[in-house]
Amino acid sequence: MRVLSGIQPSGRLHIGNYFGAMRQHLQLQEQNEGFYFIADYHAMTSGPKPDELRQNRLAVAMDYLALGLDTKKTVFWCQSDLPQVTELCWILSCVTPMGLLQRCVSYKDKVAQGLLPNHGLFAYPVLQAADILIFDSELVPVGADQKQHIEVTRDIAGYFNNTYGETFVLPKDHILKSVAVVPGIDGRKMSKSYDNTIEIFEPESSVKKKVMKIVTDSTPVESPKDPEKCNVLALLKLVASADELADWEKKYRQGGTGYGDVKKRLAELLIEYFKPYRQKRAELEKNIDYVKKVLKDGAERAAAVADKTLKKACLNIK
């Protein structure tokens, strides 16, 4: 099946991004036809500086390639390299009811977070629909909280199909298997907006420092601790074996284990887990021309598919 997903280049990717979605995106490419893109037009809704956006675009590309994106199995490109998508976005906007967009919770959430209420932010779901529909996407992996985006895309496709004839494939959502919310070093959900992240590819020394800063309660070393209420153990679950995790939980309940001990082990395991990816990332940093060529080739492959769908849509409205 054809699987499509996009990720915004809004900053350095962190382990919450990886364990929450990226790892499953990379797994899906093994048995499916992957279409993955860097959503730099979507990122513009938050008003990034041009130089920052350019740097983040390349950084995300290197991150995905280092983490195992296979360009033989997966088409990988930058959204801004395909003008066909924005052309389709306009066409779809002309059949999209205002009420549908007004009901989208993402716009209200973003404005509540402090983003300027610009038109791009409001019309975001239409561009997202164009991203999905132009590639005849069958599955779109999303978190449970993003299911509305796919429902809106299906609605927009339905409005167009009903008006101009069958044109677009109606995509299905693929709800990513939920992992426990990945906590940041302050205990809240790991997020760039909270400045509480552990980046995937930051220096090992920085990883150690951040892990040692993870917020814990004031339970004395000798006292028993609840493993279900510990931010450090929640992160350890992502990288430790089942046997080791069970051993730490036993130690917590017995007492006599300090948070510093488990923090040191977490730092070790995080560094060990991402070490091979870190080495690949370092190689890519020395070969930016290769990274740019991957995106260029991916855009050409994506354009070949997008052209066919856009042509069909244009013919139906003439």
**What does each C-alpha distance from 278 to 73, 102, 151, 203, 282 come to in angstroms?**
22, 43, 37, 9, 6
Beta-carbon contacts of 193 under 8 Å, excluding residues fewer than 6 positions away, are 113
Q: Mind telling me the catalytic residues?
A: 110, 189, 192
Does the pLDDT at position 272 exceed 80?
Answer: yes
Please tell me the pTM assigned to this model.
Answer: 0.91
Q: Are 91 and 313 in contact (CB under 8 A)?
A: yes
pLDDT of residue 179: 58
- Whether the predicted pLDDT of 194 surpasses 70: yes
- In this prediction, residue 113 carries a pLDDT of 77
- The pair phi, psi for residue 38, each rounded to 5°, is -90, 115
Domains of the chain by start residue, with CATH: 2-181+287-317 (3.40.50.620), 201-281 (1.10.240.10)
Contacts of 185 (CB under 8 A, 6+ apart): 196, 197, 198, 210, 211, 213, 214, 215, 231
pLDDT of residue 261 exceeding 80 = yes
Nearest residue to 119 via CA among 127, 261, 35? 127
For the chain, the average pLDDT equals: 93
pLDDT higher than 70, residue 152: yes
Say if residue 301's pLDDT is above 70.
yes
Q: Answer whether residue 46 shows pLDDT above 90.
A: no
Mean of pLDDT values over 280-305: 98
Distance CA(154)–CA(129), nearest Å, equals 8
pLDDT of 180 above 80: no
Per-residue pLDDT at 178: 58
What's the whole-number mean pLDDT along residues 91-102? 95
pLDDT digits (tens, 9 = 90+) for 210-220: 999 999 999 99
Can you give the pLDDT at residue 315?
96
Residues 6+ apart with CB under 8 A from 282: none
Please tell me which residue, 261 or 193, carries the higher pLDDT value: 261
Tell me 19's DSSP state: I
Instruction: Using the predicted structure, report yes or no on whether residue 145 has a pLDDT greater than 90.
Output: no
Greater confidence, 33 or 118? 33
Kindly state the average pLDDT of the residues 84-101.
97
Mean pLDDT, to the nearest integer, of 273-295? 97
What percentage of the chain exceeds 90 in pLDDT? 82
Is pLDDT larger for residue 142 or for residue 207? 207
Confidence of residue 88 (pLDDT cuts 50, 70, 90): very high
Label residue 143 by pLDDT band (50, 70, 90): confident
